[in-house]
């Protein structure tokens, strides 16, 4: 039976002629920026809010809250402070700050009642702000929940990829583990070699054969091994060959998060700069605590030692 060639294509094509192109960043994000359309045609606000770092998201929410209140406080100040009851007028700054706090109370629908709008203009403006507040906080709450509930694998990868002794051959190896307390089941690995083929002048993407592609349960660590036999595209490669061919090892992990009962994906990549020749990983042995539970120090995933050639 012939091999299904469609399984060899991962989506990057084979017509890239650049020699220094990293396709997947170290954090797993795809190193592709799409251009050619206007900003608003390419912009995906929901994706940006869901995927941005937590600190940046919180800062954005706080700044948005402050800016909306500054806008409405300015509008209230512009229509005149006499349109609001129970305002203790003094300096312009103090008057503006009272209207700012009134705006915050209106936007959040807290409504302490210390200051209240008088007349149709102020009342209509306060009504618009209250409606925006209800919709805005519903949207912010939904996005916050989506960020919190989005299942992720949180896999931890070894810092380096090694060329190690493997049976009677050598093997390309790296390790992964799950640093969280949830469990990952039915874990599958796919490893793609990306490099320049100087005969054709093109970048090629070659799926690498693995010692083991799937495990039932990622409870401790998993050392993923590509045996470098005579049919391996890496057979006979020196460290200079890895650099010359701009080698990138792209890793795709798929598993099921048993907390959410959903499939989660993780990506990572190594370049020739992360490669260490003639080394092997130190064994990671779980320790038994006083309660009889095994404890695994995931920081040891990066430990290795050099071996004699």
Which has more pLDDT, 259 or 193?
A: 193
Mean pLDDT on 262-286: 90
Q: Do 123 and 169 belong together in one domain?
A: no
Closest CA to 188 of 256, 259, 129: 256
Q: Do 143 and 246 belong together in one domain?
A: no
Q: Do 68 and 174 belong together in one domain?
A: no
Tell me whether residue 50 is in a domain.
yes
Closest CA to 211 of 169, 249, 151: 169
Q: Do 198 and 132 belong together in one domain?
A: no
**Beta-strand runs (E) in 29-94:** 84-85
Residue 2 has pLDDT above 50, yes or no: no
Q: Is the pTM of this model over 0.85?
A: no
| 169 vs 165: CA distance, rounded Å | 6
Closest CA to 175 of 298, 16, 50: 298
Q: Do 156 and 269 belong together in one domain?
A: yes
How many domains does the chain fold into? 2
| 170 vs 75: CA distance, rounded Å | 72
Q: Do 103 and 181 belong together in one domain?
A: no
Tell me whether residue 13 is in a domain.
no
Q: Do 111 and 187 belong together in one domain?
A: no
| 280 vs 129: CA distance, rounded Å | 63
Q: Which two tokens stand for residue 174?
A: 């790296």
Tell me whether residue 73 is in a domain.
yes
- The pLDDT assigned to 109 comes to 84
Average pLDDT of the residues of the chain: 85
Tell me whether residue 213 is in a domain.
yes
Q: Do 92 and 45 belong together in one domain?
A: yes
Tell me whether residue 21 is in a domain.
no
pLDDT in tens, 41-87: 667 777 788 878 889 999 999 999 999 999 999 999 999 988 898 88
Q: Which of 128, 149, 170 is the last residue of a domain?
A: 149
- The pLDDT assigned to 35 comes to 66
Q: Do 234 and 286 belong together in one domain?
A: yes
Tell me whether residue 236 is in a domain.
yes
Q: Which of 102, 124, 149 is the last residue of a domain?
A: 149
Q: Do 222 and 270 belong together in one domain?
A: yes
Tell me whether residue 57 is in a domain.
yes
- The pLDDT assigned to 171 comes to 94
Tell me whether residue 2 is in a domain.
no
Domain boundaries, position 100: 40-149
Residue 281 has pLDDT above 60, yes or no: yes
Q: Do 256 and 157 belong together in one domain?
A: yes
- Cβ neighbours of residue 75 under 8 Å, at least 6 residues apart? 125
In the DSSP assignment, the letter for residue 299 is: G
* CATH, residue 253: 2.60.40.1400
- The pLDDT assigned to 237 comes to 92
Indicate the SS3 state at residue 203.
strand
Mean pLDDT on 168-181: 91
Mean pLDDT on 107-134: 88
Q: Do 230 and 128 belong together in one domain?
A: no
In the DSSP assignment, the letter for residue 265 is: E
- Cβ neighbours of residue 308 under 8 Å, at least 6 residues apart? 278
- The pLDDT assigned to 170 comes to 93
- The pLDDT assigned to 4 comes to 47
Residue 105 has pLDDT above 50, yes or no: yes
* CATH, residue 118: 1.10.287.70
- The pLDDT assigned to 204 comes to 86
Q: Which of 94, 123, 149 is the last residue of a domain?
A: 149
């Amino acid at each position: 039976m012939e091999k299904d060639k469609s399984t060899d294509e991962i989506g990057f094509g084979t017509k890239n002629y650049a020699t220094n192109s990293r396709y997947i960043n170290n954090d797993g994000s795809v190193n592709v920026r799409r251009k050619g359309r206007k900003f608003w045609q390419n912009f995906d606000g929901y994706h940006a809010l869901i995927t941005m770092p937590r600190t940046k998201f919180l800062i954005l929410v706080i700044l948005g809250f402050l800016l909306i209140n500054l806008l409405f406080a300015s509008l209230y100040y512009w229509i005149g402070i006499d349109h609001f009851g129970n305002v203790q007028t003094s300096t312009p700054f103090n008057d503006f700050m009272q209207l700012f706090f009134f705006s915050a109370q209106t936007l959040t629908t807290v409504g302490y009642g210390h200051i209240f709008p008088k007349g149709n203009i102020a009342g209509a403006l306060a009504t618009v702000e209250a409606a925006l507040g209800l919709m805005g906080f519903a949207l912010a709450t939904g996005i916050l929940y989506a960020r919190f509930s989005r299942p992720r694998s949180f896999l931890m990868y070894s810092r380096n990829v090694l060329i190690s002794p493997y049976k009677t051959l050598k093997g390309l190896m790296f390790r992964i583990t799950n640093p969280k307390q949830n469990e990952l089941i039915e874990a599958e690995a796919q490893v793609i070699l990306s490099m320049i083929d100087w005969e054709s002048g093109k970048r090629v993407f070659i799926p690498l054969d693995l010692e083991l592609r799937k495990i039932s349960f990622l409870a401790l660590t998993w050392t993923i091994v590509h045996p470098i036999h005579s049919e391996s595209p890496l057979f006979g490669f020196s460290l200079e060959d890895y650099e010359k061919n701009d080698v990138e090892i792209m890793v795709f992990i798929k598993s099921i998060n048993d907390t959410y009962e959903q499939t989660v994906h993780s990506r990572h990549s190594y370049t020739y700069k992360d490669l260490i020749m003639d080394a092997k990983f130190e064994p990671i042995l779980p320790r038994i605590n006083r309660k009889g539970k095994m404890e695994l120090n995931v920081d040891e995933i990066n430990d290795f030692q050099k071996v004699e050639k």
